[in-house]
Amino acid sequence: MALVDPVAIARDLIRCPSVTPAEGGALAYIEDLLKRAGFAVHRVTFSEPGTADVENLYARIGTASPHLMFAGHTDVVPLGDESAWTHPPFGAEIVDGVLYGRGAADMKGAVACKLAAVLDHLAARGGKTNGSISFLISGDEEDVAVNGTVKLLKWAAARGETFDHCILGEPTNPNALGDMIKIGRRGSLNGTLVVTGTQGHVAYPALADNPVRGIVALMSALMAEPLDQGSAHFDPSNLEFTSVDVGNKTVNIIPAEARARFNIRYNDRHTRDGIKALIEQRATDAAAGRVRWRIAWDPSNADVFLTKPGPFVELVAGAIAEVTGRKAELSTSGGTSDARFIKDYGPVIEFGLANRTMHKVDERVPTADLVALTAIYRRILERYFTP
């Protein structure tokens, strides 16, 4: 029997113009493919005031355990400067063995590989498997991510859906396929440091209190010491100032207030509340009762998490080694992803294509990588469902 062709599926998906949050025909295409393979497919639309309605898809075959879930998204980031593309972003052209198009790497390519691997796995077993396989596909990953995976997981859980392991297909490899599995992500937190002074004439500083002096002192203190030394699976936590603002257009006024925005990426040595308390303690110490300050914390839904290495991670790493000959690094680097939501329902790891061209002009993937990633997912399925 001929193998299912992941390149053909990837090209079909790229030709769907699903710039976030548009569905663009991508979910309809997947629905059709999975229905024909015997999946129960649900298309679910979520809404939230102030955001666009977004379509999502959940599909499952089988009722028994174990249950392996494949997660991903079909929305893509905007094209940027379309005239800068060498090949049309929705054209899915193949030139010299490389497939071009928006979403080729992030992550229609990997979604295509998962579909091809699962269809092939089922075909080889007479349309059935020893447990359950599901697809959790979001249409809202690349923008605000409020009407996508977070709600789809809740929706599935309310229907009694549970899974044993999940593979999210984000592009995880820095250079070559097989470089890196993500087994966790750092937490992310934004805040604004506000220092209040007293406005006054620049020629009469004794009658004013310049907040610039205070914010400089607090900022240097917050940047001076590392937040920790890292942990077994994580780099050291880091605080980075991203903007410093006084907003003063005059030359003769001492301003009343100064603000500095910052982002913290924190590891598993901290909880969200713990890292906030640590920063506030350091600010209190630096202020020494002389600087009037406060920190306004932004709401965050990006907590740190780690899927501890164990049999499942070894199974995935083994499949990668078998196909690529590479020993994948187990990493927690990079930004956040939908794994931050999935981890609340079960263990999740991320493995997909190479990430060098994601979100860029001329996003692309070698077709050989699509074939190899399909072979990796196929081996994972074989090992996972072999008693």
Nearer to Zn ion, 73 or 379 (CB): 73
Nearer to Zn ion, 172 or 267 (CB): 172
Sequence-distant (6+) residues with CB within 8 A of 355 are 105, 106, 170, 171, 172, 173, 174
Alpha helix positions (H), the chain: 6-14, 26-36, 108-124, 149-158, 211-224, 272-287, 311-324, 339-342, 367-384
Catalytic residue list contains 55? no
- Give which of 277, 349, 271, 337 is closest to 311, Cα–Cα: 349
- 156-185 residues near Zn ion, rule: CB under 5 A: 170
Nearer to Zn ion, 170 or 363 (CB): 170
Q: How far is the CB of 74 from Zn ion (least distance, A)?
A: 10
Q: Which tokens belong to 293?
A: 């300050």
Distance CA 227, CA 213 (A): 24
Nearer to Zn ion, 92 or 222 (CB): 92
* Secondary structure E strands in 122-237: 132-138, 165-168, 180-182, 184-185, 187-196, 200-201
Catalytic residue list contains 141? yes
Q: How far is the CB of 56 from Zn ion (least distance, A)?
A: 15
- 274-333 residues near Zn ion, rule: CB under 5 A: none
Nearer to Zn ion, 149 or 307 (CB): 149
Distance CA 277, CA 280 (A): 5
Coil, strand or helix at 267? coil
Nearer to Zn ion, 150 or 279 (CB): 150
Q: How far is the CB of 170 from Zn ion (least distance, A)?
A: 5
Q: How far is the CB of 73 from Zn ion (least distance, A)?
A: 6
Distance CA 33, CA 265 (A): 39
Distance CA 328, CA 314 (A): 10
Check binding of 193 to Zn ion (CB under 5 A).
Answer: no
Distance CA 291, CA 216 (A): 11
Q: By beta-carbon distance, which residue lies closest to Zn ion?
A: 106
- 88-107 residues near Zn ion, rule: CB under 5 A: 106-107
Distance CA 107, CA 137 (A): 11
177-to-30, 181, 240, 251, 365 alpha-carbon distances in Å: 24, 10, 31, 56, 11
Q: Which position among 31, 141, 179, 350 bears the catalytic label?
A: 141
Q: Which position among 23, 31, 55, 75 bears the catalytic label?
A: 75
Q: How far is the CB of 202 from Zn ion (least distance, A)?
A: 50
Q: How far is the CB of 71 from Zn ion (least distance, A)?
A: 11
Number of residues that bind Zn ion (CB under 5 A): 3
The residues annotated with a catalytic role in the active site are 75, 141
Give the interface with Zn ion as residue ranges (CB under 5 A).
106-107, 170
